[in-house]
Structure 1
Amino acid sequence: MNKIVLLIISCFIMSSCVQKAYKQTVIYTLKVPAQTEVKSIGIRGSDKPLNWEQDTELEKINGDNVYQAEVTYLTGYKFTEVKFTLNGEYELQNMPNRRVEFKNSGITHYNAVFNRPVK
C-alpha cells in the first residue's frame, strides 16, 4: 500500500513541475549605421534555436542597411536574451544582453539599431 501511495505522490509532483511551452515567433529587424562595412550580420541568443556559439544570419531587406530574421521559439518563458553580431563580433561589449519580451499574441516585432542599447 505504501508503495502505491508513494508512486501516486511522485507522479503528481513530477507532472506539476512541467511548465507548458508555447510557440513564440520574433521578427528581428536590425538597422546598421550607414558607412558600415558589412560582411555578415547575425544574431545569437540564450534560447533554442539560437545559441551563443554560432550566428543565425539576418537577411538584407532593403538598400538602407536594414536586416531581418524570423526566429520561432518553443518556450515556457516570457522573454529571451539576444545580441547581434557584425562580421562575427558581438555588439554592446561589456553591456547587458538585449531582453526581448514576448507578446501574448505569439508574434513579437523587435526593432534595434546595431550597437545602440534600448533606452
Structure 2
Amino acid sequence: MKKILFLIISCLLLVSCVQKAYKQTVIYTVKVPNSNNITSVGVRGDNKPLSWDQDTQLSKIDGDNLYQVKITYITGYKFAEVKFTINGEYELQNMPNRKVEFNDSGITYYNAVFNQEKK
C-alpha cells in the first residue's frame, strides 16, 4: 500500500512540475555590412528548433544585404540565446550570446547587424 501511495504522489509531483510550453515565433532579420564572398548566413541557438551544432539558414531579402528567417519555438522559456553565422563562422567571438526576449503576443521581430552588439 505504501508503494502505491508513493507512486501516486510521485506522479502528481512530476505532473505539477512540468512547465507549460507556448508557441513563440521569431522573425530574425540581420544586416550584413559587407556581402563579399558570402555563401551562407545562418543563426544558431540554445532552444529547439535551433542548435549550436548547425546553422539554420537565412534567406536574402531585398538588395540591402538583409537576410531573414522565421523560427517557431514551442517553449516555456521567455527568451532564447542566439548568434548569427556567415559561412559557418560565428559572430561576436568571445562575447556573450544575443538574448532574444519573446513578445507576449507570441510574435517577436528581432533585427540585428552582423557582428555588432545590440544596444
By the TM > 0.5 criterion, same fold? Answer: yes
Residue 83 of structure 2 aligns with which residue?
A: 83
Give the partner amino acid of 2:70. Answer: E
- Larger mean CA deviation between 80-89 and 3-12 belongs to 3-12
1:80 is paired with a residue whose SS is strand
CA RMSD for the aligned pairs? 1.2
1:81 is paired with a residue whose SS is strand
TM-superposed CA distance for 1:55, in Å, is 0.7
1:13 is paired with a residue whose SS is helix
Cα distance in structure 2, aligned partners of 1:98 and 1:55: 15
The gaps in structure 1 that reach 5 residues or longer are none
TM-superposed CA distance for 1:38, in Å, is 1.8
1:52 counterpart = 2:52: yes
Give the partner amino acid of 2:27. Answer: I
Residue 26 of structure 1 aligns with which residue?
A: 26
Q: Percent identity?
A: 69
**TM-score, L = length of structure 2:** 0.94
The answer to whether the Cα contact below 8 Å between 2:35 and 2:65 also exists between their aligned partners in 1 is no
2:103 is paired with a residue whose SS is coil
The gaps in structure 2 that reach 5 residues or longer are none
TM-superposed CA distance for 1:2, in Å, is 2.3
TM-superposed CA distance for 1:88, in Å, is 1.2
Runs of 4 or more above 4 Å deviation: none
Cα distance in structure 1, aligned partners of 2:25 and 2:72: 4
Give the partner amino acid of 2:5. Answer: V
Residue 115 of structure 1 aligns with which residue?
A: 115
Cα distance in structure 1, aligned partners of 2:41 and 2:34: 14
